[in-house]
Structure 1
Amino acid sequence: MNKYEVVIMFYPNIEEEKRVQAFERLKKIIEDNGTVNKVDEWGMRKLAYEIDYFKEAFYYLVEFEAEPDTVNEFSRVSKILDPVMRHMVVRLDK
């Protein structure tokens, strides 16, 4: 298994309940075939530039270990979830 880090940005106008549900769904994808090592809830942060007319986003940082297929599934689901503005998965060096 490889070590990864993902930053997930959620739209600021999404209700907390829907945001938490979407985050838990993404976290479950990782936990089904890997392990979540650390979750940091950064909260609302200002964006460097506007995305879809929004100037802020709600951030999560997750460190995890998983197989590449799990990362592909995570990215696929992240792209189709409405509350997710952007995400970026980075493989950490050994």
Structure 2
Amino acid sequence: MKDMQKYETLFAVRPDMTEEEVKAMVEKIQNVITSNGGKVEEVDEWGMKKLAYKINNKYRDAYYTLINFEAEKPCLDALNHTFRITEDIIRDIIVKRY
């Protein structure tokens, strides 16, 4: 694990999801990180926030979560893949921390 780097991901899920569904989604993302060799350092649930613009011509709000983690490239690939195929996640970003 010599290539472990520090990253953070911020993702937004649909505002019409229940609290249980949102918690399950956050757990799902954490599981993707840990099951692919990553290590979750901190989870910060920001809650419901207003979006700067409408997404998909219908969402004006979204539930945001920030996760700080350590990972290697295969973990990032798996995380990006999960973001792409999960319709409930309407926006996401992964940034390397220094």
TM-score range, shorter chain: over 0.9
The runs of at least 4 aligned residues of structure 1 exceeding 3 Å deviation read: none
Letter of the structure 2 residue corresponding to residue 2 of structure 1:
Q
Residue 11 (structure 1) shift = 0.5
Distance in 1 (alpha carbons) for counterparts of 2:86 and 2:27: 12
Aligned pair partner of 1:26 in 29, 46, 51: 29
Residue 21 (structure 1) shift = 1.5
Local SS of the residue matching 1:75: helix
CA RMSD between the two structures = 1.0
Deviations 1:11-42 (A, max 9, x none): 10112222222221111111121111111000
Corresponding residue pairs, total: 93
Local SS of the residue matching 2:17: coil
Distance in 2 (alpha carbons) for counterparts of 1:89 and 1:65: 12
Distance in 1 (alpha carbons) for counterparts of 2:88 and 2:59: 13
Segments of structure 1 that go 5 or more residues without pairing to the other structure are: none
Counterpart of 2:69 in structure 1 is 64
Counterpart of 1:46 in structure 2 is 50
Letter of the structure 2 residue corresponding to residue 19 of structure 1:
V
Segments of structure 2 that go 5 or more residues without pairing to the other structure are: none
The TM-score normalised by the length of structure 1 is: 0.92
Letter of the structure 2 residue corresponding to residue 46 of structure 1:
K
* Deviates most, 56-65 or 22-31: 22-31
Identity, in percent, stands at 34
